[in-house]
Chains A and B, each alone.
Chain A
Amino acid sequence: MKIIATLWNTLKKPPVHISLGVIIIVSFFAGIVFWGGFNTAMEYTNTEEFCISCHEMEDNVYQELQSTVHWSNRTGVRAICSDCHVPHDWTAKIARKMQASKEVWGAIFGTIDTPEKFEAKRLELAQHEWARFKANGSLECRSCHDYNSMDWDRMSDEARRFMKPAAERDQSCVDCHKGIAHKLPEQMGSEDPMLARLVREATSVSLDEGQQYYSAKSVDLYTDPELTERAGVLQVATEVNIVETRGDSVKLEIPAWRKEKGFGRVLYADFGQNISSAVLDKEVAQNDSLIEVQETNVVDEMTGLPWGNVNVALWAEKGVYLENREALWETAGQTYRDACSVCHTEPAPEHFDANTWPAMFSGMVGFTNMSAGTQELVLKYLQMHSSDYVEGAH
């Protein structure tokens, strides 16, 4: 207390022993040293060396970055952590540095100190970053990537088709380009939770012989009830008739159409429509004892190809069939709208016919993170709700 009082007494009076000039010069240089030091320290916290000094960063996100284009590429320019994750504007940067106190807390208390804990938090952490990029229009991306500097003529046609409308709307990069520098959260790349729920629901559906059901996911087909001889794959949302149940197996009858050119391996849901129901192995497709032909040589006038109507009876596992397709279509429709509307207004399913959808869909689906199973279902949903199946559509 006495020291502070003495200090205060000394400070509140004009100096007697130190000249004003000395005070000015010493203070001036002290100011330079301080500001330099402050900025140096601040810059240091923006370096990669600093970021990966905690193993949470080094073992997870830093490793993932190394397999992406932001790590190594043909131009030799690379992004370090802070280029994307720390605002470049001063005020926002200081705020972000203060926000990092949360990260210090996490490092001390081990919030994500194991790969499992990190994976469990990945979605939440990613959502924080996505929200930030959404709000600032991917400002940090644009320190390097600028719509105005994009030469449309040098872009591939496919890229230009998306980038140009995005530029016109000044769209945030991360709207479409998620998961380009780090892995996507597992929940997004893997099975759709709604679809997974339907598959679980199917396990409790009791199957009556002679009734019609629909597959809730794609199922392996076999020629024998013991399910040892593989015959092909039944696709999702396909209509089947249950012929016989034996133990954990069921004998399915798949009513289908197929092209009578080639091996006839692919079974389609309808005449002249490329909506696949199942894909058979070559030997099975050629085996007349397994394929019951109903009608043959029906020519599709559009393509001139002869089609045949067949019934194929094969064995498969139990517990993956639903009584109707409504819930499947609902899930597929929701997924379609959610995934596509991220980048553009999605066309109504009945905007195209069933044979146009596959090419349309496969050209676009790479921009989404639908799993293979979900893609199959969504494509089928679109085909079965296309202009060929909706009355009054163009």
Chain B
Amino acid sequence: MAEVKSESESGSIGKRREWLAFLFVVAIVVPLLTIAVVGGYGFVVWMLQVFVLGPPGHGG
């Protein structure tokens, strides 16, 4: 563990890894998660409308 640490903290491999991880998360993971969360929210509301609430009503 200590070896890995020292390797990633110094040198170009560590820098490259950090940037890749950062951009990967910012450009791919978070957008996908957001879409999934919004879509999931919409899906839950839809299912509630189907089974519990009925069609969307006047002013929510």
Residues of A within 8 A of B (CB): 6-7, 9-11, 15-18, 23, 26-27, 30, 34, 38, 87, 89, 91-92, 94-99, 131-132, 134-137, 139
Interface residues of B, count at CB 8 A: 32
Which secondary structure characterizes the binding site on chain A? helix
Do the beta carbons of A15 and B18 come within 8 Å of each other? yes
A-B contact pairs, 24 of them (CB 8 A): A7-B24, A9-B4, A9-B8, A10-B8, A10-B18, A10-B21, A11-B25, A16-B8, A17-B15, A18-B19, A18-B22, A30-B26, A38-B34, A92-B45, A94-B38, A94-B41, A96-B46, A98-B39, A98-B46, A131-B55, A132-B56, A135-B57, A136-B57, A136-B58
B residues 3-60 near A (Cβ < 8 Å) are 4, 8-9, 14-15, 17-19, 21-22, 24-27, 30-31, 34-35, 38-39, 41-43, 45-46, 49, 54-58, 60
User: Does the CB pair B14–A17 fall under 8 Å?
Assistant: yes
- Please tell me if the beta carbons of A136 and B31 are within 8 angstroms of each other in the complex: no
Interface majority SS (helix, strand, loop, mixed), chain B: helix
Judge whether B26 and A26 touch: CB under 8 Å.
yes
Q: In the complex, what's the smallest C-beta–C-beta distance from B50 to chain A, in angstroms? A: 9
Bound Cα distance from A7 to B41, whole angstroms: 28
Given A9-B8, A17-B14, A34-B34: A95 in contact with B21 (beta carbons within 8 A): no
Question: CA of A135 to CA of B50 in the docked complex: distance in angstroms?
Answer: 13
**Are B45 and A95 in contact (CB-based, < 8 A)?**
yes
Chain A residues closer than 8 Å to B55, beta-carbon distance:
131-132, 134-136
B18 in contact with A135 (CB, 8 Å):
no
Residues on B with C-beta less than 8 A from A6 are 17
Cα distance A135–B19 in the bound complex, in angstroms: 51
CB pair B46–A95 under 8 Å, yes or no, is: yes
A98 touches B21 (CB 8 A): no
* Additional 15 contacts, C-beta under 8 A, given A18-B22, A135-B57: A6-B17, A7-B24, A9-B4, A10-B8, A11-B25, A16-B14, A17-B14, A26-B26, A34-B31, A89-B60, A94-B38, A94-B42, A131-B55, A135-B55, A135-B58
